[in-house]
């Protein structure tokens, strides 16, 4: 048992989230497949974590319909993002979570943070151990600017200062992926937000 992940899970529960800890991505996927009702309409936010889990394929194989813009053309993307926001269930990762359960998300388009707040009635947030930070909001944002953004910008071939230098220069950034910040102090009302912590490094 990873005591640090268990501590984060306890903090998340105090904030109104459902939270569960798994040793591996395979165990997490098995939990998700067993947890979902049959034949759900599912949306997914852009995420290296979800891609590394091959979660879209596992969900489709289990009979669910999946709306995921990752890998879609620029023309197809907006309609897929909108369908994902209107689905029954939504999957995303997080950009950082503090040891006391504050989840911090960034977004460039806004589809993901919108869906997390007031989209599908059931949301799963899947977080690898590498996303946990000591400290509070400031430390979470530092991780996002110094680790998540440069790696994600390179993954997405975005021409941002952090992609080329490793450092943020927001005033010179014309393709920002972090002009929207969402700090989830607690679970949104009126819906279930299930956080899944995995004792593996996943995503950025
Ligand atoms: S504002 Fe631009 S340069 Fe700064 S971290 Fe975000 S994407 Fe990178």
Position 182 scores a pLDDT of: 98
Span 2-47, pLDDT tens digits: 899 999 999 999 999 999 999 999 999 999 999 999 999 999 999 9
- Domain ranges, ordered by start, for the chain: 3-198
The count of other CB atoms within 10 Å of the CB of residue 113 is 19
Q: Mean pLDDT over residues 155-161, rounded?
A: 92
pLDDT value at 175 more than 90: no
Protein residue with least CA distance to atom 2, ligand 1? 176
Residues 38, 84 contacting (CB under 8 angstroms): no
pTM beyond cutoff 0.85: yes
DSSP 79-137: HHHHHHHTSSEEEEE-SEEETT--EEEEESSSHHHHHHHHSSSEEEEEEEGGGEESSSH
Please state whether beta strands 41-44 and 65-68 pair in parallel, antiparallel, or not at all (unpaired). Answer: parallel
The length of the chain in residues reads 204
Share of the chain above pLDDT 70, in %: 100
Protein residue with least CA distance to atom 4, ligand 1? 168
Q: Which CATH class is domain 3-198?
A: alpha beta
Distance CA 99, CA 9 (A): 9
Among 46, 159, 165, 177, the mutation site with the greatest number of ligand 1 atoms within 8 A of its Cβ is 177
Ligand 1 shell residues, CB under 6 Å: 145, 149, 153, 160-162, 168-170, 173, 176-178
Span 55-101, pLDDT tens digits: 999 999 999 999 999 999 999 999 999 999 999 999 999 999 999 99
């Amino acid at each position: 048992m990873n005591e640090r992940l268990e501590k984060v899970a306890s903090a998340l529960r105090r904030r109104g989230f459902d939270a569960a800890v798994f040793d591996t991505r395979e165990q997490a996927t098995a939990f998700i497949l067993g947890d979902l009702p049959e034949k759900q309409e599912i949306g997914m936010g852009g995420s290296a974590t979800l891609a590394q889990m091959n979660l879209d394929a596992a969900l489709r194989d289990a009979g669910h319909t999946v709306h995921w813009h990752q890998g879609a053309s620029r023309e197809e993307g907006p309609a897929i993002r909108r369908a994902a926001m209107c689905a029954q269930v939504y999957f995303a990762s997080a950009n950082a979570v503090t040891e006391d359960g504050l989840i911090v998300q960034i977004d460039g388009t806004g589809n993901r943070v919108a869906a997390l707040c007031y989209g599908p009635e059931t949301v799963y947030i899947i977080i690898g151990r590498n996303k946990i930070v000591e400290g509070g909001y400031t430390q979470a944002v530092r991780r996002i600017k110094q680790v998540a953004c440069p790696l994600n910008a390179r993954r997405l071939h975005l021409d941002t200062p952090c992609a080329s230098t490793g450092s943020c220069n927001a005033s010179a950034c014309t393709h920002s992926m972090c002009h929207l910040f969402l700090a989830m102090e607690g679970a949104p009302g009126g819906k279930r937000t299930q956080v899944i912590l995995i004792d593996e490094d996943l995503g950025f």
